[in-house]
DNA sequence: CGACGAGTTGAACTTTGTCAAGCTTCGTGG
DNA sequence: CCACGAAGCTTGACAAAGTTCAACTCGTCG
């Protein structure tokens, strides 16, 4: 039987969900799910994706990023159409999450059921973070805040090393996520670089002064709230 | 047995949820639930409230408004702490939603269970609307978009008349919801007024040219997506 | 070698925020 | 009943933040 870490599916040890059935590969830019369709019940094993609302006039808003260990779609409302699309940002590997979801329905596996619920809770938290960024923060703060969020989430699944991680996001994806123009995202990054706070380039990020960055972004750890 | 409209709890006919037990009254500005506490399982019968994240340095972001018929907290995760607070914006009357939630768990009442799930779905939709406003829209667009959203939601529970409704929001509440400064919200409202598009004042709003407003805000009806 | 595209920079412009002053409204106390 | 002060709403002028457009760099690929 599966044993999960107490935080969420994302935080379960990778070896647990990498062996789920029906592995599939998706090319970068491919839709995993279009808006208003039923979302597949799948888990991301490798690669990055995003939830994304494209409103007609070529403006699009990225609602959040999906990282290895994350659920595609909504765990608790699998039967309702997704109000957003899910798009692969890199080459992607996913597996079926059905065994997990079905096992969670079994009254015996309370821990798994709890992990599923915590996953939904985490989704909410991430969405609120996103809202706070867009509604309250300046460009500089938003960039740092998002990077810290990604850093924490990737840490859960062992994808960071020494405050450094791979971030396969093009500037325009970043811009769509932060509600800023590409140019301005670049400016903010540039300044953070010259301030010696972080080192971004070529698909990787290094947090040079983590405490100072947390200060700038008013960051509060997610695991704090998730632990209960 | 309760019969609900096919959209959500909000859209159920008011006479159905006004008779739920344990009515309570709350003063304006009172907290219905503080952040990180368990949310009460209650329904709003009269008055407005909001979900609201107050981050230390006196910036606060309103995540969304709660109107008559709305659930306080999250229907699907009643056992996890709310990541935001709920605050009354006017004098408020609430009732216990327990009978509804318990009835929904009964396998006989599939329609009610569906309504509960649609309520959660609607919450998501509203949150995404809010994200799109904050991330993609200009001040003018945001104001109009929010007003159209409120108009539609209030329409569901019979609180509109001829494109006119009561909106008991002070400018600073509006500002916190839209991620704008009070002054700028006023500017936007003022211009909409002089453009003859809407008439705001003294707690009521009138949509003078609905189609034009929908155009400005790129509004798409919620019931469209909810009907499925 | 040149053309292309992604990433970066600079400068003008637009949108939004800030500050300060004026205007209501409303409740209070003389 | 009226004057007063306080608080909230509104407006104007200026400052700051962000956007747009265009030019420039620098690898990569033909």
Q: Each residue of A148-186: pLDDT tens digit?
A: 999 999 988 889 988 999 999 999 999 999 999 999 999
Q: Each residue of B106-156: pLDDT tens digit?
A: 887 777 788 888 889 999 999 999 999 999 999 999 999 999 999 999 988
The burial class, CB within 10 Å (0-12 / 13-18 / 19+), for B98 is middle
- Considering the domain boundaries, does residue B181 fall inside one? yes
- Considering the domain boundaries, does residue A220 fall inside one? yes
Tell me, what CATH number does B204's domain have? 1.10.10.10
Given a cut of 80, whether residue B216 has pLDDT beyond it is: yes
Average pLDDT over residues B32-54: 91
Given a cut of 80, whether residue B93 has pLDDT beyond it is: yes
Domain containing residue B20: 14-126
Given a cut of 50, whether residue B1 has pLDDT beyond it is: no
Residue B202 has a pLDDT of: 79
Asked whether strand D has any atom less than 7 Å from the CB of B204, the reply is no
In a shared domain, residues B184 and B203: yes
CB contact, 8 Å: A37 with chain B? no
In a shared domain, residues B45 and B78: yes
- Which of B126, B152, B173 marks a domain boundary? B126
Distance from CA of B214 to the nearest CA of A (A): 14
What is the distance in angstroms measured between the alpha-carbon CA of A159 and the sugar C1' of C3? 39
Tell me, what CATH number does B36's domain have? 2.60.120.10
Residue B9 has a pLDDT of: 58
Q: What's the structural domain count of chain A?
A: 2
Which residues in A lie closer than 8 A to residue B132 (C-beta atoms)?
A: 53, 55, 61
- Considering the domain boundaries, does residue A3 fall inside one? no
Q: Say if CB A130 and CB A50 are below 8 A apart.
A: no
CB contact, 8 Å: B120 with chain A? yes
- Considering the domain boundaries, does residue B132 fall inside one? no
Which residues in B lie closer than 8 A to residue A120 (C-beta atoms)?
A: 76-77
Q: What is the mean pLDDT of chain B?
A: 86
CB contact, 8 Å: A63 with chain B? yes
In a shared domain, residues B38 and B118: yes
Distance from CA of B103 to the nearest CA of A (A): 19
What is the distance in angstroms measured between the alpha-carbon CA of B64 and the sugar C1' of C14? 29
Residue located via tokens 């007003």: B147
Query: Strand B49-55 and strand B59-66: pairing?
Result: antiparallel
Give φ, ψ of B84 to 5 degrees: -145, 165
pLDDT above 70 coverage of chain A, percent: 89
- Which of A109, A126, A143 marks a domain boundary? A126
* Nearest of B117, B115, B137, B140 to residue B128 by alpha carbon: B137
Structure tokens at B214: 């929908």
Which residues in A lie closer than 8 A to residue B128 (C-beta atoms)?
A: 53, 63, 83-84
Residue B173 has a pLDDT of: 93
CB contact, 8 Å: A112 with chain B? no
Q: What is the pLDDT along chain A (228 residues), one digit of tens a residue?
A: 233 333 555 555 555 666 677 889 999 888 999 988 998 989 998 999 999 998 766 778 999 999 998 999 898 898 899 999 999 999 999 999 888 888 888 887 777 788 888 889 999 999 999 999 999 999 999 999 999 999 999 988 889 988 999 999 999 999 999 999 999 999 999 999 999 999 988 889 999 999 999 999 999 998 876 665
Residue B112 has a pLDDT of: 79
Give the residue on B whose Cα is nearest the Cα of A53. B132
CB contact, 8 Å: B15 with chain A? no
In a shared domain, residues A118 and A136: no
- Considering the domain boundaries, does residue A4 fall inside one? no
Residue B11 has a pLDDT of: 54
- Which of A78, A111, A126 marks a domain boundary? A126
In a shared domain, residues B147 and B52: no
Which residues in B lie closer than 8 A to residue A61 (C-beta atoms)?
A: 131-132, 135-136
- Going B137 to B143 to B144 to B148, the CA torsion angle's sign is positive
Protein-covered nucleotides of chain C (CB closer than 7 Å) are 6-11, 15-20
* Nearest of B143, B222, B148, B137 to residue A59 by alpha carbon: B137
* Nearest of B144, B113, B126 to residue B225 by alpha carbon: B126
């Amino acid at each position: 039987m599966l044993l999960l870490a107490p935080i969420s599916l994302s935080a379960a040890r990778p070896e647990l969900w990498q062996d789920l059935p029906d592995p599939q590969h998706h090319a970068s830019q491919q839709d995993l799910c279009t808006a208003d369709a039923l979302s597949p019940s799948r888990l991301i094993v490798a690669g990055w994706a995003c939830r994304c609302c494209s409103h007609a006039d070529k403006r699009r808003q990225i609602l959040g990023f999906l990282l290895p260990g994350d659920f595609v779609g909504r765990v608790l409302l699998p039967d309702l159409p997704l109000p957003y699309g899910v798009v692969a940002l890199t080459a992607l590997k996913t597996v079926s999450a059905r065994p997990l979801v079905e096992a969670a329905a079994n009254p015996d596996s309370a821990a798994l059921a709890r992990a599923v619920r915590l996953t939904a809770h985490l989704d909410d938290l991430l969405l609120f973070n996103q809202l706070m960024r867009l509604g309250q923060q300046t460009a500089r703060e938003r960039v740092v805040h998002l990077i810290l969020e990604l850093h924490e989430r990737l840490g859960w699944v062992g994808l960071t090393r020494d405050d450094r991680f791979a971030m396969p996001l093009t500037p325009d994806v970043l811009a769509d996520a932060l509600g800023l123009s590409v140019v301005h995202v670049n400016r903010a990054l540039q300044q953070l670089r010259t301030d010696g706070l972080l080192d971004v380039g070529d698909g990787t990020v290094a947090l040079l002064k983590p405490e100072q960055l947390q200060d700038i972004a008013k960051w509060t750890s997610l695991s704090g709230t998730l632990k209960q």
